[in-house]
């Protein structure tokens, strides 16, 4: 209100609504831009990496890594730009617009993650099932009409989807940090809570750039060297940024005014914890999915006794890894309690103390994503090296000279490292999603209380005073539904991949019948790309609806406290499920790679073509939709749900006690949305077409 001096409340509401809409479009546009440019960068880099691999290991590594850095810097830049602009224009009226900004970015990220994930795995699984399994031609064989769709898919899913996703995490952590910072400004009358997060972001950009120069290797090298180089870049950035946080904190925050609120060290400390958290999650994921630690080697050993034991081993690995991730997140929150729960100021009540702690959690999230530049680079590294490997395979097929073999080995090694770096950034992304969700939970409470206050609800009955009590049966029900949503979403995402893959299977079979395999007809690559695109777009509608509509339905029917329980449930179960799906998938992929690295000798059951390799391929195929579709899509899904809840909450509060016609309208809207949800569920449960055809056409053992 203060911001718009002499406007009427209605005018203010209009301005804020308008600003939110513009911010939404901006967030969505930025997210889209990051995704598109990330994909373009990867495509440009693929061929160069393949070419560089003929010259030097170090050069191939550098090109693959730096291409991603460009996208990473863009992520940093646009995220900072958007948040700062909104804040400069709107001042204390910024939270609403910031929510719009975050929501736009997150929604686009969800679309790109889900759509990209379905696209990439439909093409991959479809190409493999007909090509490798039925026709017996190698992976990435140019005669396979789906091969281009498969390569395109790697970029769509991992570059576009991941870049948009990390951009959105970057955005949402700063949004929740600023909203909570503003709440602290109301409590403490200090602007530092808002300025410091923005400084932290600036420092992050700087240290990411420095770290990039430490990712280097010699003319020859193995995957260990690449992993070591990438991690040393990451660690350098981490150390530099942590040092700068404390210096900036000391210079900016060590004032008498701030020492009333616990002194200068708490803010840099919380951000530092975030950086540490990113490193720990990085190491944890590398332990569970990297080729050199025992878990993946155990999975590989389990291949001795066939695909079943390999699958079981990967699943129990995934289960366990998700537990450690949750524990790390839990310890981080405890650290926030230790840092911000111990501020000794007599004017601080319970609500204020809680806001401080949640602000600390938000700062940890900001710290975690300090090294976004490095993270995006590491992630893009995966598909770039994967595709470079594919391009090498296709372009040099048949060549057996040493130079080509060496280059192919370099690319295979980089590809394996890429699997791990991809898994690591997914770990950081989901970790930051949970942290962001926890701090959004804080924003939810602040926003609901504000709405309640404006309706004249006394302070003692506002949500910040009574809290989200899971011992209240209605809230518990909300929590149960929230816990279930990620499972439904994952189930449907996996089913969507099967459905889309079956369309590719049918198309490839059709082209094979025309004589593509024998070279009579040229393969029509465009057709497979077209089918994947259409299928992905179609499937993502119902999945996105699940994320958008469910919180509204829960809010309208079960009220705002249950909506809070719903958010809590979704965070707990989403985090566990996402890490499980990502890490199991990553471990299977690398276990297969380890088997492929053995000297090829099917008689001794070693290497490609052996029984053990077949078991590894089964694991990899199971893991594909886990780690590239369902798992990573949970990340933007959790945040879309959170943001929808925060946006819808004031409306829910307003119509909570409605009677007569209003009540009828609210219930009718709720029922309509429930119907929409049912439609989405029905659509997502439709059976795949291919299976029936498969039975008719196929005597598989040719």
Residues in 343-382 that interact with a copy of itself by CB under 8 A:
354, 357-358, 361
Mark the segment that binds a copy of itself (CB under 8 A) among 76-84, 90-98, 298-306, 669-677: 298-306
Q: Does 316 bind a copy of itself (CB under 8 A)?
A: yes
Q: 665: which residues sit within 8 A by CB, 6+ positions away?
A: none
Query: In sequence order, which residues have a C-beta less than 8 Å from that of residue 533 and are 6 or more positions away?
Result: 119
Our CB check for a copy of itself shows the closer of 92 and 312 to be 312
Residue 522: DSSP 8-state: -
Q: Taking a C-beta distance cutoff of 8 angstroms, is the pair 46, 395 a contact?
A: no
Please answer whether residues 270 and 360 qualify as being in contact, where contact means their C-beta atoms are separated by less than 8 angstroms: yes
Residue 538: burial class (beta carbons within 10 Å; 0-12, 13-18, 19+): middle
Q: Smallest distance, Å, CB 183 to a copy of itself?
A: 14
To a copy of itself, the closest distance from the beta carbon of 156 in angstroms equals 21
Binding to a copy of itself in span 319-338, by CB under 8 A: 319-320, 322-323, 326-327, 329-330, 333-334, 336-337
Find the shortest distance in angstroms from Cβ 147 to a copy of itself: 19
> Within 10 Å of residue 510's Cβ, how many Cβ atoms?
13
Residue from 67, 148, 267, 311 in contact with a copy of itself (CB under 8 A): 311
Site for a copy of itself in 562-601 (CB under 8 A): 564-565, 568-569, 572-573, 575-576, 580
- 641 strand-pairing partners: none
With binding defined as CB under 8 A, does residue 255 bind a copy of itself? no
The reply on whether position 607 binds a copy of itself by CB under 8 A is no
Q: Restricting to residues 172-231, which ones interact with a copy of itself according to CB under 8 A?
A: none
Q: How far is the CB of 7 from a copy of itself (least distance, A)?
A: 34
Q: Is 341 in the site for a copy of itself (CB under 8 A)?
A: yes
Length of the chain: 702
Query: Tokens 């009828």 sit at which residue?
Result: 664
| Residue with smaller CB distance to a copy of itself, 51 or 559 | 559
457 lies in the site for a copy of itself, by CB under 8 A: no
| 182, two tokens | 């503003």
> How far apart (Å, rounded) are the C-alpha atoms in residues 608 and 27?
46
Q: Is 404 in the site for a copy of itself (CB under 8 A)?
A: no
Among 438, 535, 587, 641, binds a copy of itself (CB under 8 A): 438
Stretch of residues binding a copy of itself (CB under 8 A), selected from 104-112, 178-186, 479-487, 524-532: 479-487
CB closer to a copy of itself, 12 vs 484: 484
Contact between 275 and a copy of itself by CB under 8 A: the answer reads no
Q: Exactly one of 51, 84, 498, 527 binds a copy of itself (CB under 8 A); which one?
A: 498
In the region spanning residues 525 to 564, those forming contacts with a copy of itself, defined by CB under 8 A, are 564
Binds a copy of itself by CB under 8 A, chosen from 255, 294, 342, 345: 294
The structure tokens listed for 147 are: 């091969």
Residues in 505-524 at the binding interface with a copy of itself, rule: CB under 8 A: 505
Count of residues near a copy of itself by CB under 8 A? 95
Q: How far is CA 171 from the centre of its chain?
A: 13
The one segment of 26-34, 88-96, 232-240, 293-301 that binds a copy of itself by CB under 8 A: 293-301
* 645 vs 326: CA distance, rounded Å: 23
Distance in angstroms (rounded) separating the CA atoms of residues 690 and 508: 12
Q: Which residues 67-126 are close enough to bind a copy of itself by CB under 8 A? A: none
* Residue of 458, 460, 699, 702 interacting with a copy of itself (CB under 8 A): 699
Residue 522 or 698 with smaller CB distance to a copy of itself: 698
265: DSSP letter:
T
Distance separating alpha carbons of residues 192 and 523, to the nearest angstrom: 61
Beta carbon of residue 221, minimum distance to a copy of itself (angstroms, whole number)? 29
Beta-bridge partners for 601: 606
- How far, rounded to the nearest angstrom, does the alpha carbon of residue 600 sit from its chain's CA centroid? 36
* Least distance in angstroms from the C-beta of 17 to a copy of itself: 28
Residues 6+ apart with CB under 8 A from 83: 98, 101, 171, 174, 175, 178, 198
For residue 551, CA distances in Å to 98, 118, 194, 493, 512 come to 20, 24, 29, 19, 46
> Sign of torsion, CA 280 329 263 250?
positive
User: Taking CB under 8 A as the criterion, which residues in 668-687 touch a copy of itself?
Assistant: 685, 687
Two structure tokens written together for 567: 């958010």
Residue 343: CB atoms within 10 Å: 18
């Amino acid at each position: 209100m203060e911001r718009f001096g002499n406007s009427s409340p209605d005018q203010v509401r209009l301005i804020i609504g308008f600003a939110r809409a513009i911010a939404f479009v901006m967030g969505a546009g930025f997210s889209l831009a990051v995704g598109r440019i990330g994909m373009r960068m990867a495509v440009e880099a693929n061929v160069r990496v393949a070419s560089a691999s003929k010259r030097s290991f170090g050069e191939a590594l550098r090109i693959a890594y730096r291409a991603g850095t460009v996208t990473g810097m863009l992520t940093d830049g646009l995220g900072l730009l958007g948040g700062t602009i909104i804040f400069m224009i709107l001042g204390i009226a910024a939270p609403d617009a910031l929510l719009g900004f975050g929501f736009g970015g997150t929604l686009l990220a969800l679309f790109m993650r889900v759509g990209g994930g379905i696209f990439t795995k439909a093409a991959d699984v479809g190409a493999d099932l007909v090509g490798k399994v039925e026709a017996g031609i190698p992976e990435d064989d140019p005669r396979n009409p789906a091969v281009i769709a498969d390569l395109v898919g790697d970029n769509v899913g991992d570059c576009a989807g991941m870049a948009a996703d990390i951009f959105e995490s970057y955005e949402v952590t700063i949004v929740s940090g600023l909203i909570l910072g503003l709440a602290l400004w109301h409590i403490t009358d200090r602007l530092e809570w808002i300025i410091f997060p923005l400084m932290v972001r600036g420092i992050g950009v700087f240290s990411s750039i420095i770290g990039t120069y430490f990712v280097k290797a010699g003319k020859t090298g193995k995957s260990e060297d690449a992993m070591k180089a990438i991690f040393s870049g990451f660690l350098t950035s981490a150390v530099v940024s942590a040092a700068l946080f404390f210096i900036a904190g000391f210079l900016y925050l060590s004032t008498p005014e701030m020492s009333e609120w616990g002194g200068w060290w708490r803010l840099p400390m919380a951000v530092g914890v975030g950086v540490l958290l990113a490193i720990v999650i990085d190491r944890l994921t590398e332990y569970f999915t990297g080729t050199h630690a025992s878990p993946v080697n155990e999975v590989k050993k389990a291949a001795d006794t066939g695909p079943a034991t390999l699958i079981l081993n990967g699943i129990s690995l995934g289960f366990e890894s998700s537990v450690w991730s949750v524990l790390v997140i839990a310890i981080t929150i405890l650290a926030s309690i230790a840092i911000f729960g111990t501020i000794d100021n007599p004017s601080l009540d319970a609500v204020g103390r809680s806001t401080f702690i949640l602000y600390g959690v938000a700062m940890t999230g900001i710290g975690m994503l300090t090294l976004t530049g490095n993270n995006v680079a590491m992630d893009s590294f995966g598909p770039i090296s994967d595709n470079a490997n594919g391009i090498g395979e296709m372009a040099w097929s048949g060549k057996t000279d040493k130079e080509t073999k060496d280059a192919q080995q370099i690319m295979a090694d980089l590809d394996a490292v890429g699997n791990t770096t991809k898994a690591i950034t997914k770990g950081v992304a989901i970790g930051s999603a949970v942290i962001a969700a926890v701090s959004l939970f804080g924003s939810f409470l602040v926003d609901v209380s504000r709405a309640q206050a404006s309706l004249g609800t006394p302070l003692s009955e506002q949500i910040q005073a009574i809290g989200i009590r899971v011992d209240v049966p209605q809230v518990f029900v909300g929590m149960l539904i929230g816990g279930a949503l990620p499972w439904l979403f994952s189930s449907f995402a996996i089913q969507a991949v099967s459905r889309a893959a079956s369309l590719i299977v049918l198309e490839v079979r059709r082209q094979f019948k025309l004589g593509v395999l024998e070279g009579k007809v040229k393969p029509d690559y465009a057709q497979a790309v077209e089918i994947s695109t259409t299928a992905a777009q179609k499937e993502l509608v119902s999945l996105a609806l699940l994320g958008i509509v469910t919180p509204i339905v829960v809010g309208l029917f079960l009220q705002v406290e249950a909506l809070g329980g719903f958010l809590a449930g979704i965070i707990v179960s989403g985090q566990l499920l996402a890490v499980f799906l990502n890490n199991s998938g990553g471990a299977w992929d690398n276990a297969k790679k380890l088997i492929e690295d053995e000297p090829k000798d099917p008689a001794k059951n070693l290497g490609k073509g052996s029984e053990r390799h077949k078991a590894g391929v089964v694991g990899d195929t199971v893991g594909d939709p886990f780690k590239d579709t369902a798992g990573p899509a949970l990340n933007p899904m959790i945040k879309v749900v959170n943001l929808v809840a925060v946006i819808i909450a004031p409306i829910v509060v307003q119509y909570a006690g409605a009677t007569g016609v209003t009540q009828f309208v609210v219930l009718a809207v709720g029922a309509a949305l429930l119907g929409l949800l049912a439609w989405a569920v029905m659509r997502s449960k439709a059976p795949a077409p291919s299976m029936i055809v498969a039975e008719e056409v196929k005597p598989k053992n040719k």
